[in-house]
Amino acid sequence: MSDVLIDPQTAAEKARALLQAETDAKVEAVRTLANAANDADDAEARAKEAMAVHDVAWKAALSAGWSEKDLRATGVRAPGQAGRRARTRAAAASKDPAGSTES
């Protein structure tokens, strides 16, 4: 048994501070999640709009007299086809095993 007396008010204040810190962290996690969800929704809307514009432009090029084959020969992809993929650092590093950098 301890000879030191614990002040109940001090213990309660410490407990409240611990709980408040945990609650604050949880609330901040939800705030971050909500921001990320909003950003994802905005990006999805922009992507849909860009795909619609791409489709209209493709059809306009066809109407202007281009064939699909000739358009593909220019390097422009048709609507609905997968676009370029971003290279990851690992992929970039595997292409340059010496790890050299350009000056």
Q: Which of 42-46, 51-55, 62-66, 80-84 is predicted least confidently?
A: 80-84
Confidence label for 65 from pLDDT (cuts 50, 70 and 90): very high
Residue with tokens 């909003």: 38
Q: How far is CA 61 from CA 36, 43, 52, 57, 70, in A?
A: 37, 27, 14, 6, 10
What's the pTM? 0.60
Which H or E run includes 54? helix 8-63
The CA distances from residue 63 to 12, 55, 56, in Å, are: 76, 12, 10
Burial label for 21, CB within 10 Å (0-12, 13-18, 19+), is: exposed
- Domain segments of the chain: what residues? 8-73
- pLDDT given for residue 82 in this prediction: 85
* 68 close to 78: Cβ distance less than 8 angstroms: yes
Confidence (pLDDT) at 40: 98
For residues 89 and 99, what is the distance between their CA atoms, to the nearest angstrom?
11
77-97 pLDDT, tens per residue? 999 988 777 767 776 677 655
